[in-house]
Structure 1
Amino acid sequence: MAEEFILAFDDLQKDDSNNEKLVDFVRNHYKNSLISLEFCSTLQRRLDIANDHDLPPFFHNFFRDDLSRLVSNHSMMLDTLKPMCTGFNKELDSIGLSQKVSAIFFVAAVIICTAASAIATANANPEWAWAAVAGAAPVTSILFGALGKWRHSVLNKSETVVRKHKEITTRMILAADCGIKDLINIHFVASRLEFETKSLSKTVDNGKKVAAVKRSSEELLQKVKNYNGEIKWVKQKVLDIIIKP
């Protein structure tokens, strides 16, 4: 998965319009299989039948396999994204330094040429040397000014591209961090529900335990729905960043 992401991101870096692979990767990576219709409908039925003492038959494998897989995917993306984001920060620092150096150089060049022109004009005489300087300095000044603007434009474009790439990785890093925390919380509630359900089966008439199972079921369903909503939101945000001009 990490290799697939890197290859897709390389395509984007080569050409901003070449984003199909990265778009497909993001859609697949944030495709949420945790909140299946089967799971939601089954868990919802438990809320309507508070004395149902048996967890859904797929419950244990569902959380053991799916939660573990999703946490592993998020962790793998963190390991891939963080070095990339660090690299983009270094690139931005380098571009910022180049912008400052370039600005100083071209401004100084224009000032020198302007001063040379003024001196040459003041000292102009029939001798060809001063006349040549007086004529060439303004042209050179204009040339340096144009080169300075061109260099500034190139650096600005590079900065814009790198900032976009950093924004993508930053957004995905935050999503992975939040996703892992959400999944850990979901696992905690699922484990508690499993324990309460097993305890309930031994004391069928215990109203407090029945209520506890119902509360845990409601909490679990809500946390899973929240996770699903966050993943859906992140997917759209990342896609918007990728495809924006």
Structure 2
Amino acid sequence: MRRRPSPNRITRFNVAAFAFLLGIFWLAQSWTCADPTHNHGKDEETSKVPLEVHIMSKCPDARDCLEQLVVPTMANVSDKVDFKLSFIGTTTDDDDGVKCMHGQTECLGNILELCAASEYPDPKIYLGFTMCLSRQYERIPKKDLIEDCALEHGIDFDTLNHCMSRDDGAYGMDMLRKSVQRSAKLGVSTSCTIRLNGKTRCVVDGGEFRDCDDGSEPKDLIRDIKDLYDEARGWSD
């Protein structure tokens, strides 16, 4: 007998159903924005500093982490950073699902944010969209919240909906599963965890910044990124 799905577990079928509803809501609306591209030389690309942020979409610590540290930092040094947003959860064997701490709506929020990153790889777009959702994380994935944040950051509803519904939800589900597996493989289980150049740089947990030995202000993280960038380009003293 097949086991009844956990209420906190999301599967590709849940994603497909949610995307179908989004399609109904968004069918008559379309906003587009060009995705700017930047041509960098090979040396500049390889010198970029890896900055990875591990979050849960409906976590207040993720909101504080992004708002107080990550977004202000990226506003100053995005051209020097190879940025990645990863998610925290638990994979399950049933239907290749994922279990999220704050329930199915968090899993759907995670997939929405992964779809934004997949379809709009410029961090200025998808990080801004994620920050917008995080400010009202309790309401994820309410239609009007997604509409407002997508419009504000130049994300097309149809594009986002297509990502959510692609392959009956399997595409988004696979992205979330791989992201969760990556966080687990790196030993990250706390939202929010910031990793700089492959090492834990700072953690926000229970409203407190910890393990931020070199400082928890944007100026501190900006300094570290610039130092690592200059060192990679051979500009260090």
TM range (shorter): under 0.3
TM-score (ref. length: structure 2):
0.26
Whichever structure has more strand as a proportion of its residues is 2
TM-score, L = length of structure 1: 0.25
- Higher Cα Rg, which structure: 1
Structure whose residues are more often helix by fraction: 1
